[in-house]
Amino acid sequence: MQPKPNHDESVRQDFVTDLRAYLTDEIYTLITPHYEKKIEPEFLQSHDRKPKDKSEVKSLMLNDKGYQSWSLLQRLSQQMMFTSVIDTVERNLEAMIDNLDKHQEIGSLEIDDSLEIPRYLTAYDIHQQPGGYHSETIEKDISAGAVYDISLPIYSRNAMGEENDLLAQAIIHYIDKNIGTFQPKDILDMGCGIGNSTLPFSKKYPNSKVVGADVALPCLRYAHARANALGVEADFSQQNVEKTNYDSESFDLVTSTLLLHETSHDAVPKIIQECFRLLKPGGWMIHLDVYPFHKKEDDPLYDFLKDWEVINNNENFSGALRKMNMKKIIEDAGFATETVEFTSAEAAAKYSKGYTGDFYLKLPVYVAQKSIAS
């Protein structure tokens, strides 16, 4: 299903992987020492104190040529990733769309023509993917899904696994470790995109019925065809997960991966309330997202640096999400306090294709169980 890059496209994409690795390993690592050795001492000398918060650090860093050069290069590398991938998708697009009919046998695709795409996805293109997840250039367009699928390995230094399923594996690992007896029959993956975090649940629980819901049709079309090409069954449905059309108490497990930080202040409580409504008594909600909960104390440089994606990579809501009182939002939705947990989901991962090294992926999850009695 995945369009195949030709020789030059392939090595052009390899260059972006290497550029991103270089920027992370060789340039980004210089920033903290540069700050500690040069920027902070200069400030200390003229102010008789250290910078007190991230906004003071920000004004220093935005005037520092070294930091600004890294920041610009990091932003450019994301743009270069997408342009080098779009070449491949564009060249193969018509053929892929012509082939869609061959990949419809298992699972289903439900389309809602009247669905309105939320403003948080249309106002700007999240993480700079041109056209975002939802835009369509051609009839039966799947380009946004294909672009996302090929970009993930470049973004992750080929660490997401053959089927880009590392994040779902982290959730599955969490379930096995903490709620091992849990055997969900009906599973919903919210904001499923291309289904890379949906299909692992079909594989893990072969007797279950797995549904992926998302607003973005080009991703869903790609997801359904991709699932067929991989021979894994799942149903895909075009829905806004703030308010779906499923009956109450339809699911044993509701998950999401990297969804919440791409929504909005208004959407997050609605999504959590919808999870509560959709879960059967005893069912579990697990949302995996990117940002750490544990704020380092008194480290304004760290505070500043972790906002990089917010400002520079169109992840506009991710900073605000960190400040939201998720515990209260989850409890207000109806989940019992004692079931609410913020913890980490983990998965063993390794780089591949010219890159070596193992690492342990550790990402935060918001977990809660709907009480049997509720």
Q: Which stretches of the chain bind another protein, using CB under 8 A?
A: 4, 6-8, 11-12, 14-16, 18-19, 21-22, 26-27, 30-31, 34, 65-73, 75-77, 79-80, 82-84, 86, 89-90, 93-94, 123-125, 128-132, 135, 137-138, 143, 147, 311-312, 314, 353-355
3-state SS assignment for residue 282: strand
Q: How far is the CB of 353 from another protein (least distance, A)?
A: 6
For the bound state, the minimum distance from the C-beta of residue 231 to another protein, rounded and expressed in Å, comes to 24
Given a contact cutoff of 8 angstroms between Cβ atoms, the answer to whether 80 and 19 are in contact is yes
Our CB check for another protein shows the closer of 80 and 368 to be 80
Look up residue 158 and give its two tokens. Answer: 């080929």
3/200 with CB nearer another protein? 3
Nearer to another protein, 88 or 244 (CB): 88
Least distance from C-beta 218 to another protein, angstroms?
11
Q: How far is the CB of 355 from another protein (least distance, A)?
A: 7
Token duo for residue 262 = 């791409």
Beta pairing, strands 251-257 & 186-190: parallel
Quote the least distance from Cβ 33 to another protein, whole Å.
8
* Residue with smaller CB distance to another protein, 86 or 329: 86
* CA–CA dist 323, 293 (Å, integer): 9
Longest dimension (CA), the chain: 70
Question: Residue-wise over 121-160: b if at least 16 C-beta within 10 A, else e?
Answer: beeebbbbbebbbbbeeeeebbbbbbbbbbbbbbbbbbbb
Contact 106, 227 (CB under 8 A): yes
Cα–Cα distance measured from residue 241 to residue 275, given in angstroms and rounded to the nearest whole number: 9
Nearer to another protein, 61 or 330 (CB): 61
- Distance from C-alpha of 222 to C-alpha of 218, rounded to nearest angstrom: 6
Distance CA 305, CA 282 (A): 40
Q: Which two tokens stand for residue 180?
A: 């091992």
287: phi then psi, degrees, rounded to nearest 5: -110, 125
Segment holding 216, helix H or strand E: none
Structure tokens given for 222: 């790609």
69 versus 245: smaller Cβ distance to another protein: 69
Task: For another protein, give the closer residue by CB, 11 or 111.
Answer: 11
